[in-house]
Amino acid sequence: MVKQFEEETNTRAALVLDVSKSMDWSGSPERLTKLRYAEQVVAAIALLLIRQRDAVGLVRYDDRLRTVLPARARTMQWRRIVRSLEEPGAGSDSRMAEGVQQAAKLIRRPGIVILLSDLLVDQDQMEQSLRVARAAGHQVTVLHIMDPSELELDSRGEAIFYDPESTLEVTATVSDVRRAYSATVMHAIEEWRQRLAALGAGYEVIRTDSPFGVPLRRAFATRQRLP
């Protein structure tokens, strides 16, 4: 006779939030910035995990590590996380590799690393840091936060478009490049999806003009411990 057990252990999760200047942007004053939107997502995920008695930690980074909260499963942890979200950020660079590596260190045994970023970073560097996290046995999920105006150019006329985190400036007539831009963005998203899939990481695009419940459910559908 064989007796079967289902062991139930608490999960340890690290939320990695990109707070660089590019995240502090919205294509419309009627919408939240990507950062504000991502912070709400972070708070929601943290609350869910803590209610399940899972341990949650937080790493915020821009051009340096801004916040590092070790994973805890206590109720006070959520308040610490929310307070940390109000700390300054908006640096002129995204040191994503450091953030992910720090998150991987926060959880000693295999857990979950959830990255929230607009992914306006070098793809190879990011892939390398995620590969390290995966090697440590962590499950990695990337939530790609995008403003609708980044998906499709919805402005008109000619302008000089500049990147707030770099010296990059592009002069363009919106009507001329609208289609090509959309195709480029879709292509980039598909690239991210394929690269992360190859690493065994989850990937989901979340638009700041839509409720984040649906993409979160999709992103964590395989995580049975999440509702």
Partner 1 sequence: MNFLAPIWLGLIAAVAVPLFLHLLRRRIDIRREFPAARYLLRAEKENVRRLKLRNMLLMLLRTLALLFLALAAARPIAALLGSGHVPTALVVVVDNTMSTGAIVDGSPLLSRLKTVAQSVVSGAESNDQTWLVTADRAVTGGARNAVLDAIDRVEPLGGRGDLTGAITHAAGVALAAGLSTSTVVVLTDGQASQWPGDISLGGVRVVAYAPTGVAPYNRAVTMAEPRPARWSPKGTLLVGASGADSVTYRVTLGGRTTARGLLRGSDEQVVRLEPSERGWVAGAVDLAPDELRGDDERYFAVWVGDAPAVNVLPGAGLFVREAVDALVQSTLVTRGPGIEIAAVDEVTRLPALLIAPADPVRMGAANRNLERLGIPWRLGEVRRDETIARGEDVEGTPVRVRYPLRMSTGGAAPSDTLATASGEPWIVAGSGYVLVGSAMSAEASSLPVRAPFLPWLSSMLSEHLTSEGSSLLRAEPGAPIRLPAGITGFEGDSQVLAVGSQPTAPTRAGVYFLRRGDDRVGALVVNPEREESRLDRLSATELKGRLRADDVIIATDPADIPRHAFDASAQRPLQALLLLLALACLVGEMMIVRQAEPQGLRRAA
Give SS3 for 88: coil
State which of residues 160, 211, 213, 224 lies at the interface with partner 1 (CB under 8 A). Answer: 160
User: Judged by CB under 8 A, does residue 168 bind partner 1?
Assistant: yes
For the record, the structure tokens of 84 come out as 């940390």
State which of residues 50, 97, 104, 120 lies at the interface with partner 1 (CB under 8 A). Answer: 120
Number of residues that bind partner 1 (CB under 8 A): 48
Give SS3 for 66: strand
State which of residues 188, 195, 199, 225 lies at the interface with partner 1 (CB under 8 A). Answer: 188
For the record, the structure tokens of 30 come out as 């009627």
Residue 193 to residues 16, 143, 147, 176, 180: CA-CA distances in angstroms?
19, 11, 18, 28, 20
132 vs 135: CA distance, rounded Å? 5
State which of residues 55, 71, 130, 153 lies at the interface with partner 1 (CB under 8 A). Answer: 153
> What single DSSP character describes residue 21?
G
Window 133-152: contact mask with partner 1 (x via CB under 8 A): -----------x-x-x-xxx
User: Judged by CB under 8 A, does residue 169 bind partner 1?
Assistant: yes
Burial of residue 52 (CB within 10 Å: 0-12, 13-18, 19+) is middle
Stretch that binds partner 1, among 8-16, 55-63, 135-143, 173-181 (CB under 8 A): 173-181
Chain positions contacting partner 1, by CB under 8 A? 21-23, 25, 118, 120, 144, 146, 148, 150-155, 157-165, 168-173, 175-186, 188-189, 204-205, 207, 215
